Amino acid sequence: MTNALYLVTAVATAPWWSRKTRGGWPERFGRIEPVASKDSDARPRVMLHTVSVGETNAIRALVPLLTPHARVIVTATTDTGLARARELYGEQCEVRRYPLDATFAVRRFLDAVQPDVVGLAELELWPNFVAACRSRGIPVAVINGRISARSFGGYRKLRPLLKRSFASLSAVAAQDEAYAGRFAALGVPADRVSVAGSMKWDSAPDPATGGVSDRANALADAMGIDRDRPLLVAGSTGPGEEALIREATPDGVQLLCAPRKPERFDEAAAAMPGCVRRSSESRGSGDVFLLDTLGELGAAYELADAVVVGRSFGPVDGSVQGSDPMEPAALGKPVLTGPAHANFATVVSALQAAGALRVVARESLGAAIADLFGNGEERASMARAALECVAEHRGSSARHASMLLRLAQARTPG
């Protein structure tokens, strides 16, 4: 029945998905390069499935904990997630594309990978895949588990279709108690649900011990950012936020905005007339900068005296609910974010409770930024609190590694 529903859905949504460019269609149908025979490596096989770039980044600390004890296969769904997985893990382990949830595609995929345990990052629960693993005796666990309130409502409506899939999970390592309760409410036996924290704390960068990195200094030099003057970095901004943050930035403070999506780069530039664009490869002389390239936001955060985390100043009941504040916090930066941050509520709450982050309303953003840049002692206090909070929450990856290895070894004794 599931295959029939997928077919009907695919036909109905064809006008939408057919406009998107996607590669790897043979792989999506399970035709992947087989992982080497188990005769050549007797270690248990741990498959870690991520969806896109965010989940792929989140397992950075987990993979090296597993590789001494297991053969690790990382899978991803999207083209960008797969590219990131190959970049991060291609030399440490096998990387493959995750198949569509059609029975024949899943069967081919599992024949090629032959995992002893599967870890699904955050959730990504597909009924045919879980059923196929169940029939082969392969334990499936959710790692770094989270279900937002919005998603929980959707899953409850589909509970008759998904109840068996949730009940089949061998373990769920949830990020917090609220998420754990939602997994149990959807049918995962309570004794299989635990709270392990978020692995993103472990994958957050360590602050540079020798000051700002060469990469960050090179970015400042290339764009003309004055290292002797204060800099506000607005990361992962969404529609309308560039203009908002520019208007809220005090005189004398430099501003660098980094939109979340590349397709918004020109829109963001139009909202900040006269800005220096990174893509122009020319050194500027103004106070407003646009990071319209990929892979350099971390370097920009290193340069910041304070950070505004974007996609958080829209409606609190909207579809976009925040961006991750963990990276700037891990670099010891005081952070401001807006009230629409439900997708990162756990991290925001932890940083806010520690005194490392402030949640500010749209209309209060200018006053909050001015207050930070007018009070060096407050910025320093928030920076210390951020570093301490991140350090306190590290360790989730080790708990996840122990769980996955226990499940894998139970299936492959000796």
Active-site residue list? 55
Give the DSSP letter string of 85-106.
HHHHHTTTSEEEEPPPS-HHHH
Please state whether beta strands 288-290 and 276-277 pair in parallel, antiparallel, or not at all (unpaired).
Answer: parallel
How far apart are the C-alpha atoms of 72 and 404, rounded to whole Å? 11
Specify the DSSP class assigned to residue 263. Answer: G
Token pair listed for 8: 């009907």
Q: How far, CA to CA in Å, does 10 sit from each of 14, 151, 161, 282? A: 6, 21, 18, 46
Closest CA to 143 of 71, 202, 79, 85: 202
How far apart are the C-alpha atoms of 133 and 139, rounded to whole Å? 7
How far apart are the C-alpha atoms of 197 and 396, rounded to whole Å? 5
Strand order across the 288-290 sheet: 276-277, 288-290, 254-259, 231-237, 306-309, 335-337, 357-359
Token pair listed for 398: 């080790």
β-partners of residue 337 are 309, 359
Query: CB of 82 within 8 A of CB of 24?
Result: yes
Q: How many angstroms separate the most distant Cα atoms in the chain?
A: 67
